[in-house]
């Protein structure tokens, strides 16, 4: 799960939130210029226009109405003249540029925009390019760990680029209110920003057209899930399957029939950026931190909230289940909300992202390793003194619900033995209602009889 990840891609999401956050109540400026009506022949040249949205956010916008850039925080306009605009944020230190070019191709537009702001392109390493429905995102770093993100799109006869620069460490430490995004895109049209409101959620499954394709919202990001109900009348206990691993997962992957037969409703969903769900998903590495995993945790809580609104579901008996990466995201979700009634985590680490990444590298990110390899790596893990990144121990200790952890000792992706020791320490120290199913001859895809998991869930719901 952590073999060759380019963790610096996380800056894309920080940039996403900086320009789209809608969770501050910044006072409007003393005067505000209204957004002009779109012209018949929009120019590729960006003319600076500062406006105020109804909720008070300060916005840098295009007079032709083609984009808006909400400036959340204490931004200082440095240059806002013609096709080039620069803004600075003092704390944390961050620079943001808006550049229009006459290039008719995106790559050429990126190069022209970087030259326009004086960036030394020879010193930049391209970490990745990610297309989104509105913009293509180019993510760079330099030798000094400076991050550069370029969000570029065609505009009129040229291209429009948004460029954010800062040290990666600064971007990692951005406060929470700067990364909560509106809809998961880096920038979006002004009319969408103004008009977006999550639609009302149904109160009964009779109001849902297709239980296999159910839209729900996490913040402003539309996710799509599938709900399977037991026979008979509810309200039923429910299980939300959050997915497996750090890559894309889909709502049809989870085998739900045994749970449904046992009387447990099952809800699974396409992870953000996968299948029919919107947003962007980047695999997590050891430098991602709580903010990125927290976004996935909030997605799972959004699923719980959706189920709580249905009359067929018992709102007090909804649990979370997931695999691998869920070892970090489910404790985050459960420690943030009392809406979660129980948790089941399969092959999930209780150690930090850095420790898991180190183990995965040593073991070749294998599904299963030999017993001799397991013993050899135990000694190397004990000597690890590298970076740790997000550590789930605090979230696990803060959980107040029953939890089940399932591991195979020969897991080559997650250090199962070390994770079990961490969990046992938390159980002893904090007197938690946690259970462990541990299989000495199994790997990352440890198989446990579904009947045992169902029995554990039903026993703890009754208790």
- Could you read off the pLDDT of 282-302 as tens digits, one per residue? 554 434 556 668 888 989 999
Task: Quote the pLDDT of residue 169.
Answer: 59
Asked which of 8-17, 55-64, 128-137 is least confident by mean pLDDT, the reply is 8-17
Task: Quote the pLDDT of residue 312.
Answer: 97
Task: Quote the pLDDT of residue 289.
Answer: 55
pLDDT of residue 307 exceeding 90, the answer is yes
Mean pLDDT of 15-23: 33
Q: Which whole-number Å values give the CA distances from 292 to 12, 178, 193, 277, 394, in the listed order?
A: 11, 12, 23, 17, 17
Q: What is the largest CA-CA distance in the chain?
A: 72
Grade residue 404 by pLDDT with cuts at 50, 70 and 90: very high
- At residue 408, the 3 state secondary structure works out as strand
* pTM score of the predicted model: 0.64
Mean pLDDT of 31-54: 39
Distance CA 435, CA 331 (A): 14
Work out the mean pLDDT of the chain and round it to a whole number: 77
Angle (deg, nearest 10), helices 11-20 and 289-308: 60
pLDDT of residue 63 exceeding 60, the answer is no
**Between 458 and 73, the higher pLDDT residue:** 458
Query: For residues 245, 249, 254 and 260, what is the CA-based torsion angle, rounded to 10 degrees?
Result: 110
Distance CA 8, CA 220 (A): 24
Task: Quote the pLDDT of residue 322.
Answer: 95
Task: Quote the pLDDT of residue 74.
Answer: 67
7-195 and 205-462 in the same fold:
no
- Fold held by 205-462: Rossmann fold (3.40.50)
344 and 306 in contact (C-beta within 8 Å)? no
User: Which residue has 């970076």 as its token pair?
Assistant: 387
Domain boundaries along the sequence of the chain: 7-195, 205-462
Grade residue 452 by pLDDT with cuts at 50, 70 and 90: very high
203 and 283 in contact (C-beta within 8 Å)? no
Residue 27, judged by CB atoms within 10 A of its CB (0-12, 13-18, 19+), counts as exposed
Mean pLDDT of 73-93: 70
pLDDT of residue 54 exceeding 70, the answer is no
pLDDT of residue 378 exceeding 50, the answer is yes
Tokens encoding 413: 């992706």
134 and 153 in contact (C-beta within 8 Å)? yes
Task: Assign domain 7-195 to its CATH architecture.
Answer: 3-Layer(aba) Sandwich (3.40)
Mean pLDDT of 416-427: 96
pLDDT of residue 176 exceeding 60, the answer is no
263 and 235 in contact (C-beta within 8 Å)? no
pLDDT of residue 96 exceeding 70, the answer is yes
Task: Quote the pLDDT of residue 47.
Answer: 46
Distance CA 73, CA 36 (A): 24
Q: What percent of the chain has pLDDT over 70?
A: 70
Distance CA 409, CA 423 (A): 14
Asked which of 81-85, 273-277, 400-404 is least confident by mean pLDDT, the reply is 81-85
Q: How many residues does the chain have?
A: 463
Task: Quote the pLDDT of residue 434.
Answer: 97
Q: Which whole-number Å values give the CA distances from 312 to 175, 306, 420, 460, in the listed order?
A: 38, 12, 36, 20
Q: Where are the alpha helices (DSSP H) in 85-189?
A: 106-116, 168-172
DSSP annotation of 219 = T
Mean pLDDT of 107-112: 90
Task: Quote the pLDDT of residue 31.
Answer: 28
Grade residue 10 by pLDDT with cuts at 50, 70 and 90: very low
**Between 335 and 52, the higher pLDDT residue:** 335
pLDDT of residue 455 exceeding 80, the answer is yes
230 and 261 in contact (C-beta within 8 Å)? yes
Displacement of CA 4 from its chain's centroid (Å): 19
Task: Quote the pLDDT of residue 441.
Answer: 95
* Segment 309-328, tens digit of pLDDT: 999 999 999 999 999 999 99
Tokens encoding 220: 């402003």
* Segment 241-283, tens digit of pLDDT: 998 888 889 999 888 899 999 999 999 999 988 899 987 665 5
Task: Quote the pLDDT of residue 439.
Answer: 96
Asked which of 246-255, 350-359, 389-398 is least confident by mean pLDDT, the reply is 246-255
Task: Quote the pLDDT of residue 121.
Answer: 86
Asked which of 19-33, 74-88, 153-167 is least confident by mean pLDDT, the reply is 19-33
């Amino acid at each position: 799960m952590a073999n060759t990840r380019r963790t610096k891609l996380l800056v894309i999401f920080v940039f996403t939130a900086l320009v789209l956050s809608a969770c501050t109540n910044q006072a409007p400026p003393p005067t505000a210029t209204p957004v002009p009506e779109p012209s018949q022949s929009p120019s590729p040249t960006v003319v600076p226009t500062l406006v105020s949205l109804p909720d008070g956010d300060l916005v840098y916008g295009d007079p032709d109405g083609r984009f808006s850039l909400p400036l959340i925080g204490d931004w200082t306009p440095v240059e806002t003249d013609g096709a080039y605009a620069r803004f600075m944020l003092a704390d944390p230190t961050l620079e943001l540029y808006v550049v229009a070019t006459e290039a008719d191709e995106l790559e050429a537009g990126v190069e022209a925009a970087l030259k326009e702001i004086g960036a030394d392109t020879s010193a930049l390493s391209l970490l990745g390019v990610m297309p989104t429905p509105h913009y293509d995102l180019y993510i760079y770093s330099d030798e000094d760990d400076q991050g550069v993100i370029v969000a570029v799109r065609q505009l009129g006869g040229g291209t429009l680029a948004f460029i954010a620069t800062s040290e990666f460490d600064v971007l990692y430490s951005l406060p929470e209110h700067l990364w909560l995004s509106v809809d998961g895109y880096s920038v979006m049209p002004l009319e969408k920003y103004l008009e977006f409101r999550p639609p009302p959620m149904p109160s009964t499954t009779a109001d849902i057209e297709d239980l296999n394709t159910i839209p729900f919202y996490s913040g402003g990001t539309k996710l799509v899930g599938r709900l399977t109900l037991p026979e008979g009348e509810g309200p039923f206990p429910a299980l939300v399957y959050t997915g497996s691993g750090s890559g894309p997962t889909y709502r049809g992957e989870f085998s739900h029939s045994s749970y449904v037969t046992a009387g447990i409703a099952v809800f699974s969903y396409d992870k953000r950026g996968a299948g029919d769900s919107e947003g962007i998903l980047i695999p997590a590495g050891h430098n991602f931190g709580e903010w990125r995993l927290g976004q996935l945790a909030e997605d799972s809580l959004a699923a719980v909230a959706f189920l709580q609104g249905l009359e067929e579901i018992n709102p007090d008996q909804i649990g979370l289940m997931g695999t691998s990466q869920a070892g970090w995201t489910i404790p985050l979700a459960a420690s943030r909300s009392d809406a979660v009634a129980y948790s089941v985590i399969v092959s999930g680490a209780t150690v930090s992202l850095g420790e898991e990444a180190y183990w995965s590298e040593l073991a070749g990110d294998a599904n299963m390793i030999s017993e001799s390899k397991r013993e050899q790596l135990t000694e190397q893990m004990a000597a690890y003194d590298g970076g740790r990144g997000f550590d789930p121990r605090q979230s696990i200790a803060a959980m107040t619900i029953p939890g089940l952890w399932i591991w195979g000792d020969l897991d080559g992706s997650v250090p199962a033995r070390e994770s079990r020791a961490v969990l046992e320490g938390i159980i002893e120290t904090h007197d938690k209602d946690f259970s462990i199913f541990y299989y000495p001859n199994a790997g990352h895809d440890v198989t446990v009889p579904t009947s045992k998991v169902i029995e554990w869930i039903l026993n703890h719901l009754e208790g």
